[in-house]
Amino acid sequence: MENRFNNDPKSVNENEVVTNRVNNARKEGVTKGALTAGIISLVLLLALGILGYSLHKKDHNTQLALMEDQRVTFTKELNQRDSTLNDWLASFNDIENNLRMIREKEKLISVNTSDAEVSKDKRNQILEDIKSINTLLDDNKKKIAQLNSQLKKSGGQITELKTRIASLEESMKTYETEIAELKTTLANKNFEIGQLNETVVALNDTLTIKKETISSQTYKLHQAYIVSGTYKDLKEKGLLSKEGGFLGIGRKEAIKEDFSDSLFKEIDITKTLTIPVNSKDMKLITEHPSGSYEVVKEGDKMVSYIAIKNPEEFWRISKYAVVELKK
């Protein structure tokens, strides 16, 4: 009976069907598992890619914003520098024009006092000319005061400014001679008018002011500031910070704004031609034309100092020199 049951074709077919279904289920389970694992892996890769792109895009946008801010700041500084310089030179032109007009008035006074007898009309004309001279002198005083307020932050075009100052000094010498001649002429003519005496005093006072102004201008043209130290030292003083880079890599030193001149050593650029370093290496943080200076080394392992070969060119862009020392 048992053998007949086992050899029943119908029973055998049913067993094969069951076996096939089990095998198919196993295969289907394996396939679904592999497919699920693949989908999960793909999702993870996409998520990592999106995350990486987001981080890169965010940092890229930050870099673009930083570069734009730096460009705007630099443009403002250039515009401010050009505006200050133009105002400065315009004031010099106005002062020189006033001096020219004063000389013309003085010539008229000399002509009107050339006769042995000075008529009433000529005396009145002389008084009018003196009033005009006083007005021009007052205008010059105001312009000189304005120049003093602008000089502090002036920079660049030093040669042009020196030429203007030299021209003004020559005008002062001519002016002194003319005043002396005017005083002599008036004394010989016994031209005792109170306004004339006041004019001579005012002219002398103006000459003193102009000489002091020239001295002050020359001093400030030669004025510059230097500071050196490690990055840590300069950062603690509030002078340096690090900007830029990608994910913290490649960041560069940058000078902070609104620093105090008291943090620097004040120098005369015509007298100070070297900046001491005495360190293994150094870096000029401020911008100076490369051909205007030379880094002088002592042996192969020590930087001794920075030699300024062309002071006018070295200080043309900035009157501040910040040197980072690397121990």
Query: What is the DSSP track for 181-192?
Result: HHHHHHHHTT--
- Give a yes or no: residue 80 inside a domain: no
**276 DSSP β-pair partners:** 305
For residue 45, is it within any domain? yes
Domain end among 221, 250, 283: 221
Domain boundary among 221, 244, 264: 221
pLDDT score for 272: 93
Query: In angstroms, rounded to a whole number, what is the distance separating the alpha carbons of residues 41 and 34?
Result: 11
Q: Are 229 and 324 in contact (CB under 8 A)?
A: yes
Task: State the pLDDT at residue 271.
Answer: 92
Cβ-based neighbour number of residue 123 at 10 Å: 14
pLDDT at residue 149 in the model: 57
* Residues 6+ positions from 48 with CB-CB distance below 8 Å: none
In a domain, residue 215? The reply is: yes
Count other Cβ atoms within 10 Å, centred on residue 222. Answer: 18
Give the domain range for residue 287.
224-326
Pull the structure tokens for residue 139. 């205008």
Q: 92 and 166 share a domain?
A: yes
pTM value > 0.75: no
With tokens 């020359």, the residue in question is 218
Same domain, 146 and 42: no
4: left (phi over 0), alpha (psi -120 to 50) or beta: alpha
When divided into structural domains, the chain yields a total of 3
Instruction: For residue 137, tell me if it sits in a domain.
Output: yes
Looking at the structure, tell me whether residues 29 and 148 fall in a common domain. no
Examine the domain organization and report whether 128 and 251 are in the same domain. no
- Please provide the DSSP assignment of 275-295 as one string: EEEEESEEEE-S---GGGEEE
> In 152-266, where does DSSP find H-type helix?
158-188, 194-221, 231-236
In DSSP terms, which residues pair with 180 in a beta bridge? none
In a domain, 185, yes or no: yes
Does 121 share its domain with 199? yes
DSSP state of 254: E
Pair (196, 235) in one structural domain: no
**Nearest partner of 281 among 302, 306, 256, 307, judged by Cα:** 302
Q: Tell me whether residue 70 is in a domain.
A: no
The answer on 165 and 41 residing in a single domain is no
Same-domain status, 21 and 125: no
Count the alpha carbons within 13 Å of 137 in the hemisphere toward its beta carbon: 24
Query: 282 phi and psi, to 5 degrees?
Result: -155, 165
Q: Which residue among 173, 206, 221 closes a domain?
A: 221
- The pLDDT, as a whole number, for residue 297 is 92
Residue 104: the pLDDT is: 78
Q: First CA to last CA across the chain, in angstroms?
A: 102
Residues 98, 116, single domain; the answer is: yes
Residues in the chain, pLDDT under 50: 1-5, 156-157, 244-251
Instruction: Please check whether residues 125 and 203 belong to one and the same domain.
Output: yes
- Is residue 71 in a domain? no
